[in-house]
A and B are shown apart, each in its own frame.
Chain A
């Protein structure tokens, strides 16, 4: 055991993503003026250092297995990451940097994680021992108080950190806990020895505080060499990719994350008075949301923060005090509003950028692999591709195109072709690769390293904020893209969102994609039972609220709702069974109500009639009622439009019905007739010419009951009128 030469080697123990650590590192580097810096990170990244000046954090260092890009490790850096500050310092002063962690070539070959492997880099457990000793119940908070909220100008904290860590490790884990840990530290020592041998005089080592004790002594190299000998190895490529604060936040599942990147960014970037500045910014955002917040609110909020910090025995107000003051003072007790602003600021979303010169990302590589395997070449020329989903390879092709669409890379667009029947095994695509899609792929690489993983993560993210109809179409897209994980996540979101939504129209719009997915899900080998459950639940909610939703609507709104009822009905037929019964029961209960718009009422009657729920007699009775003088003519006309809209065939074949309408029309007085004429014209205008002709034939030939002409017609005299009418109705004129 040989203690290191503290004149030559300076160990800066940090917490990853700690603004206080970053400040301290920056100050210490300026004081030390090292001639080389060692940083905890994969040595593969040594070659990427030239890109540092062009990067805009948050960015992440990505090392991935070239054979299987999904095996990857990520080292994110924000502007408040101490490593980042060290990198920037080195770049600005032209000092060499070496990454000293175990090469990713080994770490990636050693463990074989099935999903995205992300390095765990924050050690909370040893800290909690120190925090407990200091009387804190939360380790992060203790570290924040002691280290992260430090301002510039204090003495260097690094000797104290080293001492504390030595004590903690001596008590907790005299030996590294895992083989992996031991190897990592062995490699750090190995690099340190090499650096010392190279003759550098002032060496700064920036590494996690936990590792400092392991570097204080340099045992003979033989033991370390033995540990590192014969490790499995794989071919690894590394690059920089853009990262986001959102993904840095622990809340989104990144294990080494920080809970409040926005707060840390703020702490690191503001020159002074962080609490005052933060609360002023919160007030500004509240004002942008039309909440009246005065300067005196901010003053009182700052005072409350300070009183609370004093009461809780903290040196400075922290995020918790700020959260309390935001809700109690700035938002006057409105917890929800406070949380909205506070949460957004705590994450402080921002996206980093990398220059175009950085090496390709694994997503590009993964995509290229797929393209090669599926024989889909990216071409700038447009071409059509017809897929038969019963075939394995075509199914995969379709999934790939759908996934890319989800990622915002519309390489292929779905086209309706003439052959497309109702069958679902056939898809027609138009393919065209635009140059900007290359950039889109790099942007999408923040979602994941493979097309599948990226599309899944992207769907998860979009599902967080989507409204109900968007969610169900997301679900449908995920099914088509064959992303079982995304489907499961979206289904869970959907179940939640469906109950929150009070807008029946949105619920109705959400149902059709869901019903389609539930019905056709099996084609894609997905268990559709969960979807069915949600679809029927959604339908129950629609049924419960329908009566209320269709009352008191304007004519435009009624038209929209009519369409929604139509699509819902189509969806319900797909679901079939109990769902259909429930839906028709509801419609039956709603139909006779007087307070719903005529158009909707007409439509509902039509659906019930088509489903055999209404006998011809009942329907005729209803129609008589609706067309009786007691009903305002415009309601009658709207009712009829709703009833027959888009389908003249019914009138052609149901003579009894046509008779009823005919009788009603001829019974109208002049002013009433003029009122309904435009509406009637709109209704009949929407029919196919052939249907119109057939209806006219019925009327002309007098086949309607009670209208058989008694006297022979004088065709000579009627000829001009007939010709005009024929022209109006689009009939071929008979000479």
Chain B
């Protein structure tokens, strides 16, 4: 790792994993699509992790189904744009960053979508001082990341596409279908070089998002990223993140109770999936997201409660309010769902009595 990457708070993917990318490029003898730094096969290996013949360890970047990653890479190879959809905390951004790093060697051509994103962020803007002083010229033009990606044949990333206002979103249609970006002020156009493509991410659970127009949607291949597949994976992710966060926030040391973490994860998974972990009982699904990220924040919260107001041990009563807050978003319908779940599932679990009692107390 170079000096620059240790000094910054968070290095880019292509900096942090430069060694692995170089090792893969060295052995990669398969055909590379024009403009690609690696072959689709090598990109898949980079994302999913493997051990190369020369012993180089490629760490897994995305823990999940190989199928998904293959579809993502194949999509980019067909010059179709890729849309990653999922609830918050499903590693959409993480995956898109690593795809861009592996394919273009550059994950920095990024448009962050917000309600205030303007067309200039996707097309181009002007350096107004120069524009007034010298008149329209290519020097006065400020290219957007998308424009740069087109000119250089690299991948551009658009984060939170559905937060961008609809009329601004539609600026992407011409870029994706014609692969060109006209600049009528100068009478020129930027034609995309081979290797250009767009990876967009979007969140399908937020309210008040701007749905993509079907014209735009049609230009993307859509991949839905699922939540972690097994309870153990998820417990693992939660435990590690909680430990990190605890250190960052300088919380007093509370022994992270694996029992409580497992319970929170179990409750979330069961309600999210609509079926108990043993597969015997179906349950209704509430309107909330119940993402892994929320589970992490509930545990962190519970630990703060336990440290400052409790006996220093994470107890059910510390996490239950958080769970209720996350599950019961809409008091009328979610209340019914929770009550039903509590009475038909939790009540009958032998080693969950303290948890059940805490839930009952918090509900009534």
Q: Chain A residues near B281 (CB, 8 Å)?
A: 495-496, 499
Residues of B within 8 A of A540 (CB): 340, 343-344
Chain B hits for A545, CB < 8 A: 336, 340
Residue of A whose beta carbon sits closest to that of B40: A311
Q: Does A537 reach chain B (CB closer than 8 Å)?
A: yes
Contact with B along A302-316 (1 / 0, CB 8 A): 011001101110000
Q: Does B103 contact A (CB under 8 A)?
A: no
Contacting residues, chain B, for A717 (C-beta < 8 A): none
Q: Are A296 and B218 in contact (CB under 8 A)?
A: yes
A324→B71 contact, CB < 8 A: yes
* B129 CB–A CB distance under 8 Å: no
Contact between A499 and B222, CB atoms less than 8 A apart: no
The residue in B40, B85, B220, B224 that gathers the most chain A C-beta atoms within 10 A of its C-beta is B224
Q: Is the interface of B mostly helix, strand, loop or mixed?
A: helix
A333 pairs with B223, CB closer than 8 A: yes
Q: Which A residues lie within 8 Å of B41 (CB)?
A: 311
| Chain A residues within an 8 Å CB radius of B40 | 307, 310-311
Quick one: closest A residue to B222, CB to CB? A333
A328 cross-chain contacts in B, Cβ below 8 A: 71, 75, 221-223
A329 at the interface (CB under 8 A from B): yes
Residue of B nearest to A551 (CB): B332
Find residues 59-107 in chain B having any chain A CB closer than 8 Å to their own CB. Answer: 67, 70-71, 73-75, 77-78, 80, 83, 85
Query: Is the C-beta of B283 less than 8 angstroms from some C-beta in chain A?
Result: yes
Bound complex: CA A308 to CA B72 (Å): 9
Interface SS, A side: helix
Q: For the complex, is A698 an interface residue (Cβ under 8 Å from B)?
A: no
Interchain CB contact under 8 A, A498 and B78: no
Contact present for A498 and B282 (CB under 8 Å)? yes
Which residues on A sit within 8 Å (CB–CB) of B284? Answer: 499-500, 502
CA distance A324 to B221 in the complex (A): 10
Contacts of B83 in A (CB 8 A): 333
Count of interface residues, chain A, beta-carbon cutoff 8 Å: 33
- Proximity bits, A287-329, B CB within 8 Å = 1, else 0: 0000010101100100110011011100000001000100111
| B339 contacts partner chain A, Cβ-Cβ < 8 Å | yes
- Among residues of B, the one whose C-beta sits closest to the C-beta of A332 is B222
Q: A311-B73, A328-B71, A332-B217 are in contact. Are A304 and B222 (CB under 8 A)?
A: no
- For residues 257 through 304 of chain A, which have their beta carbon under 8 Å from a beta carbon of chain B? 292, 294, 296-297, 300, 303-304
The interface bits of chain B over 227-255 (1 if a CB of A lies within 8 angstroms of the residue's CB, else 0) are 00000000000000000000000000000
Q: Decide if B78 touches A303 in the complex (CB within 8 Å).
A: yes
Closest to B84 in A: A333
A544-B222 contact given A311-B77, A312-B70, CB 8 Å threshold? no
Contact status of A496 and B75, CB under 8 A, knowing A294-B218, A300-B221, A329-B221? no
Judging by beta carbons under 8 Å apart, are B280 and A495 in contact? yes
Cα distance, A328 to B339, chains bound together (Å)? 37
CB distance from B250 to the nearest CB of A (A): 41
B274 beta carbon closer than 8 Å to chain A: yes
Contacts of B340 in A (CB 8 A): 499, 540-541, 544-545
Is A311 in contact with B74, judged by CB distance below 8 angstroms? yes
Tell me if A690 counts as interface (CB < 8 A to partner B).
no
- Could you say which residues of chain B place their CB within 8 Å of the CB of A296? 218
Which residues of A486-517 are within 8 A (CB) of B?
A: 495-500, 502
In the complex, whether A181 has a CB less than 8 A from a CB of chain B is no
* Contact flag A548-B80 (CB < 8 Å), given A304-B71, A332-B217, A498-B282: no
Cα–Cα, bound, A335→B86 (Å): 12
Say whether, besides A328-B71, A540-B340, A307 and B78 are in contact (CB < 8 Å).
yes
Any chain A CB within 8 A of the CB of B2? no
Q: How distant is B314 from chain A, measured CB to nearest CB, in Å?
A: 30
Cβ–Cβ contact A308 & B336, under 8 A: no
CA distance A499 to B254 in the complex (A): 38
Give the CA-CA distance A320 to B71 in the complex, in Å. 11
In the bound complex, CA of A246 to CA of B13 (Å): 49
Identify which of residues 149-190 in chain A touch chain B, using a CB-to-CB cut-off of 8 Å.
none
Interface flag for B6 (CB, 8 Å) = no
Q: How far is the CA of A544 from the CA of B80 in the complex (A)?
A: 48
Instruction: Verify if B51 is at the interface (C-beta below 8 Å from A).
Output: no
Asked if B4 lies at the interface with its beta carbon under 8 angstroms from chain A, I say: no
Which residues of chain B from 311 to 364 have any CB-CB distance to chain A below 8 Å in the complex? 332-333, 336, 339-340, 343-344
Contacts of B148 in A (CB 8 A): none
Find out whether the CB atom of A304 lies under 8 angstroms from the CB atom of B74: yes
Residues of A within 8 A of B274 (CB): 499-500
Given A303, A311, A327, A332, which contacts B80 in the complex, CB threshold below 8 Å? A303
Give, as a whole number of angstroms, the nearest-CB distance from A292 to chain B.
7
B282 engages A496 (CB within 8 Å): yes
- Whole-angstrom distance between the Cβ of A549 and the nearest chain B Cβ: 10
Docked complex Cα distance between A52 and B83 (Å): 53
Nearest B-chain residue to A305, judged by Cβ? B74
Is there contact, CB below 8 Å, between B218 and A537?
Answer: no
**Given the known A-B contacts A500-B274, A548-B333, are A541 and B75 also in contact in the complex, defined by CB atoms under 8 Å?**
no
Tell whether A292 pairs with B71 under 8 Å between CB atoms, given A328-B222, A500-B282.
no
Our pick among B75, B85, B343 for the contact of A304 (Cβ within 8 Å) is B75
Task: Give Cα A329–Cα B217 distance, bound, in whole angstroms.
Answer: 10
Distance, CA A444 to CA B226, complexed state (A)? 42
Residue of A nearest to B76 (CB): A307
Contact flag A544-B343 (CB < 8 Å), given A300-B78, A304-B80, A311-B41: yes
**B332: chain A residues within 8 A (beta carbon):** 548
Shortest distance between the CB of A538 and any CB in chain B (Å) = 10
- Measured CB to CB, the nearest residue on chain A to B280 is A495
Other-chain residue from B75, B224, B336, B343 in contact with A335 (beta carbon distance below 8 A): B224
19 contacts between A and B (CB under 8 A): A303-B80, A304-B75, A307-B74, A307-B75, A307-B78, A308-B71, A310-B74, A311-B40, A311-B44, A312-B70, A320-B67, A327-B224, A328-B71, A328-B221, A328-B222, A332-B222, A499-B344, A544-B336, A545-B340
The list of the 3 closest CB pairs from A to B, nearest first, reads A333-B222, A499-B282, A307-B74
Extra contacts, 6 of them, besides A304-B71, A333-B85, A499-B284 (Cβ < 8 A), are A304-B75, A304-B78, A308-B71, A320-B67, A500-B282, A502-B284
Q: Write the residues of chain B forming the contact surface with A, with a CB cutoff of 8 angstroms.
A: 40-41, 44, 67, 70-71, 73-75, 77-78, 80, 83, 85, 214, 217-218, 220-224, 274, 280-284, 332-333, 336, 339-340, 343-344
